[in-house]
Amino acid sequence: MKALLLALVLSVGPAVAEESLVTGLSRDDVQITADFTGSDILVYGAVRRNSPAPQSPPMDVIVTLEGPSSPVTVRRKERIFGIWINRSAVDLADVPSYFAIASSGALDQILSPEDDLKHQISLARRLSVTKITANSMDFSNFLRATQRIGSDKGNYVSQQNGVKLAEDTLFRADFALPANLTEGDFSVRMFLLRGGRVIDVKAQTIDVRKTGIERQLTNMAHRQPLLYGILSLLLAAVAGWGASEIFRIWRR
């Protein structure tokens, strides 16, 4: 009897505001052609609830866009006898070719370190889990150098306040992809947070592929390297001959 009364009391208690994300992309594929100069991606969505939104803590959204990973060697230059030469190096096995993060506020204010560690949301946390081929006492310095180099090249982007919220329900984030994209699957992750804790995660994929003659040349270079090399030499020879003929005619 007591158990039945307890169940009835719990069933009529206050409803818990369960929140989840409903998300979408402006496009789910990017085609790289000869005149490709980059692409714009819009990530948008809404928060689905079974009851009114809580007043506190405030809602935040973080969106990350990550490109395919590949091995990277990071070298450190040292000055010896007045000459800068490469000395120590660290091989990283899993470094994203592109990483962009947009958030509705400053990351250190809206994201708890525990959830950042769990979901590897920030770039620093993502890079910290890369595998290395040899131990190094300065591993953290090499990771910071990797992040700095990627940022200088425009491949690592951080947009604080880059997620726009509307009516505590709708959100959007805009990304400008550069022209030097690595072919492959780009992962988009969207995080819903309250009080620094992640309460829902959604993920989608953007297919980035070369098309047309660029795709055919890439396939040939990987599948028929000998034929690709011969054709490259022939094209170079024809181009050189054509340039010399044009110059000869012009001198006349």
Element (H, E) at 95: strand 83-96
Q: What is the pLDDT of residue 14?
A: 40
Q: What is the pLDDT of residue 55?
A: 82
Tell me which architecture the domain covering 16-67+94-210 has in CATH.
Sandwich (2.60)
Buried-state track 226-249, b at ≥16 Cβ within 10 A, e below 16 = eebeeeeeeeeeeeeeeeeeeeee
Let me know how long the chain is: 252
Q: What is the pLDDT of residue 35?
A: 79
Q: What is the pLDDT of residue 18?
A: 87
Query: Mean pLDDT, the chain, as a whole number?
Result: 82
Q: Where exactly are the structural domains of the chain?
A: 16-67+94-210, 211-252
Q: Angle of helix 212-223 relative to helix 225-251, nearest 10 degrees?
A: 130
Q: What is the pLDDT of residue 68?
A: 95
10-residue mean pLDDT profile of the chain (252 residues): values are: 40 57 94 85 94 88 95 75 68 90 95 95 88 64 85 93 93 94 94 95 93 58 65 74 73 68
Element (H, E) at 224: none
User: For the whole prediction, is pTM greater than 0.85?
Assistant: no
Provide the phi-psi class of 82: left if phi over 0, else alpha when psi is between -120 and 50, else beta.
Answer: left
Rounded to the nearest angstrom, the gap between the alpha carbon of residue 14 and the centroid of all alpha carbons in its chain is: 40
Angle at CA 242, nearest 5°, toward 236 and 246? 145
63-93 pLDDT, tens digit each: 999 999 988 887 776 666 666 666 677 788 8
